A and B are shown apart, each in its own frame.
Chain A
Amino acid sequence: MNNILSYSLFILALIAAGLISLSFGRVSLGGADIWAGLTAPADDPISMILFELRLPRVILGMLVGATLGLAGAALQGVLRNPLADPGIIGVSASAALGAVIAIHLGLAATWAFSVPLFAMSGALLATLILLLVTTRDSSVLMLILVGIGISSLATALISLVMNLSANPMTIRDMVMWMLGSLENRTMNDLWMAGPFILIGWAMMIGTGQGLNALSVGEEVAQTMGINLKWLKLRIIIGAALSVGAAVSICGAIGFIGLVVPHIVRALISREPGAILIPSALMGALLLTFADILTRLPVAGSPLRLGVVTALVGAPCFLYIIFHTRREMR
């Protein structure tokens, strides 16, 4: 597909998804309402719904979706493994551990920012461990094994914290947080996570050429002038910072990072470097739609975001794998 055409389509779809997302919720807003709200003074009720409730949600959803798509594509490229996802380096589980600890300590009730702050700390700690290991041995196998190790440890510690929680309501809070949501997020969440997300993107987005070169293996890539160590560091740190920040805002969202690169590969290009930006855009688009689905009235209780992405993502993944299995060998 033509580059400019596909990017224009993406942008149009994103704007449309954003507008639909703005109009959906407990109070339905039509196009005229949204326009009126955008131009009305700050104390207007519609304007308050838009700016205080819905706009942060739309922006955060797009940032998180783009992060998961981009990190998924970059990690699949650098690990040369179509099954890699942002969770593989253990940062998501570590962020979840931080959040669960904050909930366990009862900090969440007294200070709303404790959860994302603890989650961010968990993610940074995991990043540090990853860096310590990968600067010594940066082989793909080592990365995946250390990632799985960190992930398992964090999951074990999450179970321990839950085990020690006497209060069933606390455990419910933890489980609900881990299922993911964009509800009741504010601009303050955006200011806290935004910088880490943007730094992460900046580190990952320029790695396309190196990822393309890696298609023919690490050794040949190096003889093409690619600094392999630097490439790996950029992607690991970039993915860890941005995914850690994303998870700290809205919980662990599964399947977006795994599925989006496959969709983009089927639609746009099979070059690992060429799918980075389209994967970010596609991730933003899918997460926005998934977030709209969570607001549909189903069985009384609102659906959690991670549940929707997994429910939609897993069948998509199977379908794509079935259709591309021959080419992927």
Chain B
Amino acid sequence: MTGLLINNLNLTLGGTQILKDVSAAVNPGEMVGMIGPNGAGKSCFLKSVLGLNKPSSGRVTLKGQDLATMSLKERARWLAYAAQGAPLHWPLTVERLVALGRIPHLGPWQNLQPEDHGAIERALTITDCLHLKERTATTLSGGERARVLLARTLASGAAYILADEPVASLDPFHQLQVMDILKAHATAGGAVLVVLHDLGLAARTCDRLILLHEGQVIDQGPPAQILSDKNLSCFFGVSVSRWQENGESFLAPHAIHNGQSHL
């Protein structure tokens, strides 16, 4: 009853069943990765948990309370969303953009309070964006922008962060930086559910993985179990090379054509 529990979620969009009886749990202190080939329903799953998609059946509970019974703002104080390639429609300064994260804590007419400024400052510090504070967010580089948007998510103070491919289109250094920030959030007692395409990154950073395929949970458990040769060839169509270095395990995929690996 402690964490975020998802029970038998079914989602149908435009006549197509996207999610079939998906159940999962995310507990405080955990970094859970969601993997699966394109079109498996990973993003739709995150959106269903967040209430952006209306599931046809199933329940999402937080600490035992049904999310559907919470007010929008209350829900927003618990769950924060880092969207994939989130747009930015106005040239706000970085500080004001990160300050948007505090909206769930403010009344309709309320200005930022001292504790809000504290949370914004902390989020900027954690994401190494303090020096960007005065910059216009639309002029940032891809890596800076990803960090700033993550800072917006962290500033909300929400314990549960749902991130949809937060490292897409980032260079390796910034990928690792973003994953480190998310990992630190989980280590500090928060919880992270992150959709990832990079299986190597998923293996190294997540405590647990959920493998989704055609809207169904195939398997969930520790990375070593989920990223088995069988799962990878069955559901991703790849074979992998694995190696260990400094106590970390790495893997690199190869494509399989007609049962044979090339490359």
Binding site for B on A (CB under 8 A): 80, 206, 209, 212-217, 219-220, 222-227, 270-272, 324, 326-329
Contact = CB atoms under 8 A, between A and B. Distances in A.
A270 B136 CA distance: 10
Given A215-B90, A215-B92, A270-B92, 8 more contacts: A215-B89, A216-B89, A222-B50, A222-B72, A225-B72, A225-B75, A226-B72, A326-B139
Interface string B97-126: 100110110101100000000000000000
12 contacts: A80-B90, A209-B106, A215-B89, A219-B83, A222-B50, A222-B51, A224-B100, A224-B104, A225-B74, A270-B91, A327-B139, A328-B91
A327 B91 contact: yes
Interface of B: 47, 50-52, 71-77, 79-81, 83, 86-93, 96-97, 100-101, 103-104, 106, 108-109, 136, 138-139, 149, 152, 156
Contacts of B88: 215-216
Given A223-B50, A223-B79, A216 B87 contact: yes
- 4 smallest CB-CB distances across A and B, nearest first, come from A225-B73, A225-B76, A327-B91, A223-B81
Contacts of A209: 103, 106, 108
A324 B138 CA distance: 12
A216 B100 contact: yes
Contacts of B83: 216-217, 219-220
B59 to A, nearest CB: 19
Contacts of B77: 225
B148 to A, nearest CB: 10
Q: Which among A222, A223, A272 has the highest number of chain B CB atoms within 10 Å?
A: A223
A222 B79 CA distance: 11
**Most chain A C-beta atoms within 10 Å of own C-beta, residue among B50, B71, B100, B108:** B100
B138 A327 contact: yes
A305 to B, nearest CB: 30
B97 A219 contact: no
A226 to B, nearest CB: 7
Nearest to B105: A225
Given A219-B52, A220-B81, A327-B138, A225 B103 contact: yes
Given A223-B79, A224-B76, A217 B89 contact: yes
Contacts of A324: 91
A213 B103 contact: yes
A270 B90 contact: yes
Contact of B100 (A206, A215, A327, A329): A215
A222 B136 CA distance: 24
A16 B158 CA distance: 49
Nearest to B149: A216
Contacts of B87: 216-217
Nearest to B53: A219
Question: Which of B92, B108, B152 has the largest number of chain A CB atoms within 10 A?
Answer: B92
A329 B51 CA distance: 31
Contacts of B92: 215, 270-271
Nearest to A3: B111
Given A223-B81, A225-B103, A216 B86 contact: yes
B90 A329 contact: no
B224 to A, nearest CB: 33
Contacts of B71: 225
A226 B139 CA distance: 27
Contacts of B90: 80, 215, 270-272
B103 A216 contact: no
A66 B257 CA distance: 66
B89 A214 contact: yes
Nearest to B82: A220
A270 B94 CA distance: 12
Contacts of A80: 89-90
Contacts of B138: 327-329
Given A215-B89, A217-B89, A329-B138, A222 B52 contact: yes
